[in-house]
Structure 1
Amino acid sequence: MSDAAPEGRAWFGAEMPNLSTLDPGQAREELDEIAEAAGECDATRLADLARGEGKLAGFLGAAATLSTYLRDAMRRDPMMLERLFDEPWDARVEAIISDIGALGRGDEMTEKSLMADLRRRKTEAHALIALADLAGASDTGRTIGLLSRLADACVRAAIRYLLREAHERGKIVLPDPDDPEHGSGWIVLGMGKLGAGELNFSSDIDLILFVDPEAPAIKDPLDASDLYSRLARRVVRILSDRTENGYVFRTDLRLRPDPGSTPLVIPVEGALTYYEGRGQNWERAAMIKARPIAGDLEAAEAFLKEMQPFVWRKYMDYAAIADVHSIKRQIHAHKGHGEIAVRGHNVKLGRGGIREIEFFVQTQQLIAGGRFPELRGRETIAMLGKLTELGWIGADARDTLVRQYCFLRDVEHAIQMVADEQTHELPEDDEGLERIARMRGFTSADAFADAFRASLREVESHYAALFETAPQLSGDIGNLVFTGDVDDPDTLQTLSNLGFERPSDISRVIRTWHFGRYRATRSAEARERLTELTPALLQAFGGTHRADEAIIRFDEFLKGLPAGIQLFSLLQSNPDLLRLLATIMGAAPRLAAIITRRPHVFDGLLDPSLMTELPNKAYLAERLETFLGAAGVYEERLDRLRIFALEQKFLIGIRLLTGAIDATRAGKAFSDLADLSIGAAFDAVRQEFARRHGEVAGGRAVILGMGKLGSRELTAGSDVDMILLYDHAADADESDGAKPLAPSQYYARLTQRLISAVSAPTAEGVLYEIDLRLRPSGNKGPVATHLEAFRKYQQTEAWTWEHMALTRARVVAGDAGLGDEVGGEIATIIAAPHDATKVRQDACEMRALIETDKPPRDIWDLKLIPGGLIDLEFIAQAAGLLGQVEAENRTTSTAEALSHLSERFCDGQAREELTSAYRLFTGLAQVSRLCLTGDIDRDDMPPGLADLLLRNTDLPDLKVLEAHIEETAGRVRAHFDRLVCGR
């Protein structure tokens, strides 16, 4: 039957849902699948509806094509939809939340059955909320509210079950076992979006857990923290572990005080002592959203009352503005860096995103909430209203930010509904962007992109205005006098106030500028412009927390400039460029060194399309062709290639630094640049080499990228691992040039010439450092390898580690035909049967040997720490050799290999944890390698770099980040031991 109007309206209310699919044929197929699944479980009304052509059927078909998560949920549990013929979606969701609240009370309940029940009920509610959102039956506030209440109910069910079980085992004595939370002393605070009642569709839930050791249920106050910490680990397992029924909510406990050195459940007195003595402004901001959601609610409310003096200062808290600005730097506003790219944009953390609206509200709450209790609420939209009522913002700002907050949250939900993944980034591909557009009711991706850009611009303008009222450097702050040879005492005090630790040295440096001793400051006009710029310059550098170093690097930059008027004028008229320059000088010594040695790379920042164009291979290839077009002779071509590569490395780095691209895209961009640059160098070398030595009959050669080049995960500081492979006619004896060479000698010398062209230091720098140690027989073997020799070696002599390395190999340059042959040979070698026991044993022994020979320096040695990048790479490589990577095509990417590990090799939870860990570690590595020329030193880290690392992980504090690294590495090492070593 078709979906008659009464039945259709029973599902989602008065309005019939309308959703357009990308593929009508696929939608029909999905409906047939749903009908078949419905028929198998006697969901007859759903089966009839799915076989029809009505509007509701069309909606279900479209939803199934747009969201793989909803497609799987509808097929797996058709009764979820069948029930909607008898009760509307919202009544059903309310019933599920109520049912979850009753779980954990029966005598027959076990932890396993609780986990299964929670997962089934959460999945049904989750899917129904998503369908209602797509149908337009649930607005933003209702969606985030229901998701939050669903999470509350699940956490509370787990807490009640564990408390009752602890009572039955004699660990605690509950005053009332029928109400286990009362008097238990266990304080469970929902934080972040959960605390605010604003949970997103695939969100983690942030919890902080405390215990009152004096609560009636506690038998031994000294054991209370340990006892409840053990229960907390079980809470995480009950909610987070993936089973055949999925998971409930990923649970995060890292917002607690000093997470690297404190138990999971902290005694109340210890927590209060910490917050009073060492609490930071980001913790004040976090506590704004703290809400008791489970456990001993009376104890929780008492705790939050005790916390009020910490969170809400009695007087207008302008004294905290400097620290609030530090939080702003962590979140990183990108005002003014050109147009915003839609593809790949992070809806949460990117320019004009959700976090900027939340921060807009929280900043003013921190400043004024002590005097105005009305500003102490948790909900973003409600607080925008209160800020307007109290005159802190205008009605226009309120209406704009509320409207765009709802729009961006809806987009965020759509992104996450596709596959129930915790991501906030819009797709980069056409189909993916079109999918999000349809889910949000737009007729095309272009229409969505226009609305999205407009939204971001509006948010960004209000967010930027928030900081325009911050104190500006002006004459009333202090003197800035740099004439004569003697330091002005008031100027030294001004410099000190701005954050400079050696004001006398800085004053002497600035006097040098004004004496005109550099080419950039020789003209009177240049010195005049620099004098006008100096106050803003000092303020910008003073805000980097490493002000002295930033000024010294800027001084080195000035020394190398051929002229200064244009730059000084540009910086004076473009404060955002000045702030970016200060960020580079204060947080990124590697980038600072580049622009100091090669000031011309700074010109690339003037390109208005810099932040909107994704630096993919096509983009880089087009610019390389243009840049090399005018080059004539061999040396000029190589020099222009070095200039181009250095500038593009710098500009890719700037995009990463400003958040225009993320670490994954930066790795691909650095790798694409290397492919093109090495390929262009190879072409130039071959042409030049052939002029003297001619060609070998039937000669062909390719460059095989290995390591991070092969996996397209290069960083700003990576060298490149490669192998040169060649082939030629069987009867070729020597090349046909003026100075003929035997084929083996020909390709060996060609390779040496390539190494020299790419690696030799020149006036224009070094293109790349090259590492050939992964070639057959390593450093003992020839630098160029015949294809047949390569094939024979890999089939008969190669060690396990060499086959593991081959899983990341790909052809990056050279003859296309030979490249296809080499790719086929590699695929054959990897797909050949491998002894699983030997592969695992060899990989395990190799990892142990590395750990002995090269132990990690500290937790920041992300490559070498147990559970770090090497463990993750070994897991992916071993799985690749054992045929346990289920990608459609062979992948060389470690990240993709981990995300496609087969169910036979590891379960879904392990796969997700490994993928998430790799994303975390590579993100941190990309940023640190971009900014530093050496290793991270925790005790001497540029504060600007710390801000960047925190922004890229969305964590508030280095201690929290370090605890996250340690916890993540521990999970990875456990998976490595189990999956590779069999322990």
Structure 2
Amino acid sequence: MDDDGSCEAGLKIGGDRHPRPLNETAAARWRDELAALAAERELNGLAGLLRSDHPDAARLAAVLDLSSYLNGIAFKNPEWVEALIGSSAADLIAATITELNRMPAPGTSDAALMAALRQAKRKVALLVALSDVFGAIRPVETTRILSDFAEAAVSAALRFCLLDLNASGKIALPDPDNPETGSGLFVLGMGKLGARELNYSSDIDLIVLFDETRPLTPDPMDAPEILSRLVRRLTRILAERTGDGYVARTDLRLRPDPGAMPLAISVAMALTYYEGSGRDWERAAMIKARPVAGDKAAAERFLEEISPFVWRRYLDFSAVAAIQDMKQRIDHHRGFDRVGLEGHNVKLGRGGIREIEFFAQAQQLIAGGRAPQLRQRRTDDALQALADGGWIDPATGAELTEDYWLLRQVEHAIQMIADEQSHTLPEEVEKLGAVARLAGFADEAALGAALLPCLKRVDGRYGRLFSEGRGERREAADTERLKRLSQSPDDAEAIAAIEDLGYQRGADIARVVHGWTLGRYRATRTATARARLAQIMPMLLAAFGKAHDPDAALTAFDRFLAGLPSGIQFFSLIASNPKMLELLADIITAAPALRETIAARPHVFDALLDPAFLDEVPDRDLLAERLSLSMGQARDYEDALSRLRIFASEQRFLVGARMLSGVIEADEAGAAFSNIADVVLEATLAAVAAEFQRIHGQVPGARIALLGMGRLGSRELTAGSDIDLILFYDHDEGVEASDGDRPLAPSTYFARLTQRLIAAMTAPMREGILYDVDFRLRPSGNKGPLATHIEAFRRYQERDAWTWERMALTRSRPVAGAPEFVALVTRTVGSILAARHVESAITKDVASMRQRISASKPPRGALDLKLRPGGLIDLEFLAQWALLTGRASPDLYGVATETVLAAGDWPCGVDGAALARAVNAFTRVIQLVRLGPEDVREVAALPAGLERAIRRSLRLAAEADLEVWLAAETATVRAAFVAVLGEAPEVGPRPATP
């Protein structure tokens, strides 16, 4: 302080806000009185500051006028304000929280601890509020500081309770010097405490649990009662109002079944409750759960165990409806039916904080099981993750984040006035003005200018996500007519509305649709499912009305619905994503392979809603990363196999849906299906080997590798392809048995390991099978050992292999195994194929093999492009002939047929580029046909949607005759085949099976 009484330093708070008081006269009086009190207590720095013209004196005086609560603290403890002249607010807050982390000191009584905690609370409340109002910190920092303080206070109170019970002999702490560590007792902070988002006067929501396998009490049966008494004492220490105030109001009602459960609940009891009776709102609450006190290692184990309850494997659109219902009950109960300023609740009202939280949480619950990056506790972090992942538009995320923090700023200002747990703006102009100034606005008009548009923006965003229930959208007249089908199938206006949509047999369709409402199908048995279906019925009818044959499309959907095991999730998904209906209609009508997948496992449709669906075709590395995330959460071997099936089914479905919708070209599908198989086989082999080793140990020096053959080997898989494999192994010389509890001889070990691998892929589980697999391409076929020693394979190929076996090897590549052994297998196969053989002998063998196939497996129709003369087998045999005769580089083994044909040195003037174009075109047709009905072999029998997709893929004009085009292309290929390999008997297409 200078000689003239001025104070140049001011308060070490900073900030650029200068709030104005409501009453200048009152502010001046408070300033003088605090100066006098400071002088009386010899707080000369504060007295000098208040008597100076420093801007901080005016800022402090304004706060004294605007907030009775902060006024009371400042006058009771002016030394805390004095301390701000020498130390920064941030340092003082940090020191206070650090002191809490040292409590309790030995010999501390209840009363002393309670007084110390309450004093710390008031000090932090004053320092945080001044920093906030002055603009030195933003709401994001305010909430973190308040949360850190509350966590430290809860932890200090818990340590006191634990130590006291330990001293009395009622519990036995593993480490009294660190009472929380290893105790098995822990406190979860829920809601805003869990998310580190506490508001200025927040309650704190707590759940107290204990690990019953590590009992603190001498008799484990006493644990619930003794530890529940501890919880009562803990809450009293924190929440009881004394002459020093309170630390934090506590709420224990978020624990499982609060009306029946004790205050301290065992982990086993909690897990049983959540797994059997947990509700969607409890899932939403658990998003923010965070260990705040006690044995945090035990807490993290619990949160890991409860993760499957919170984060479902599938997209969970029923969560949207549950959260919407929750919000509607709040609105109805509290009368929140408008957006306004005076008297508006900025937390629970329309456009308020809760709507932003629900906006984020609903989408986290929907997709967090699939996208772990969405598992964020903080609302702003969740919005950022949703935007980063493409689940919401980045502009939406940024806008809602900005609005969220504006609302939190206003909420803090409301609560700073009198430390009341209120979120409602005052109706009186003067009090509203106080809120405005504490929140950083000049007056109530400026507050309204910022807040009202914010509330309307949030209301709009929330309303678009939860697109029904507020009564703002009037249903169109035709929609109202269609809804009458729930009451009667004979309503003339409803039938007319159906016919207006393009259906020919309106009355028949009306009876089908009405039947859905009677609960005859498994998917419509519950009232909730029927309600969801009624909601989307007009959309469904409109979508199928756009099909080539609406009546047939609707009938196909009826068959699909009849096979659907449950409906709530599926109907909720459609209600939340009506744009998916067009693709669903194509799948239902044109792609039964995909339709059956959805019917058996409706959640595979989830993948279409991933923002990446239209933006990417995942490569092998990205698929491996996503599968690894899922496998990392597997609880056991069975769960791992289940996860593999879900992943493979979903990813195969995605490739098919992308083909059908035109996102990818059909000739790209082979590589995409093969990438899926690669990563799934690698993960399956690892899981099987680990489980097998657990029982039988390892064979010293054991190395294994899987060789993919056929379409997998050449990366040309289709939607329904089997996969052909050979399992190779090697081990140290002289080894007699594995080293496990149940040792096996090496040959038996690897044979049984292969059997276990086959079972892992082919065993029917709830999620279906993984792949049909075939090991018959191993040496000696079914007569040979199931697993193949690499040296035995080499000898067989060099001495005894047939030409057809070397042909098969040209379409092979390692897909899984130890890297160094995979390299050895690659070199071995390469050296076998590099050995040259007489071209004429190879030519004779290849032509003879094609003749035998023609005789034993004639084509079944024009669309059987695999077996049809001039079709894929002819093209594949040409490529294999080129590799075995040296007319194509042996480096090209294990690559796509198209690539080999384009690179071949062809005799007789055969055009390799034309052959490559033909295999590409046939591949497009086959990939799409494999999505269709199994019995479709003729062009005339193709579903309309599938034929359109084939024409689009081949770039054929609408008027072009697909069957004529196929005949011309296959004739050209057949001529090339005969020119290279000689004449073979022609076998025409076999008539299609009726």
Task: Report which of the two structures shows the higher radius of gyration computed on alpha carbons.
Answer: 2
Q: Which structure would you say has the larger RCO, counting Cα contacts within 8 Å and 6 or more residues apart?
A: 1
TM-score, normalized by length of structure 2?
A: 0.49
TM-score, normalized by length of structure 1?
A: 0.49
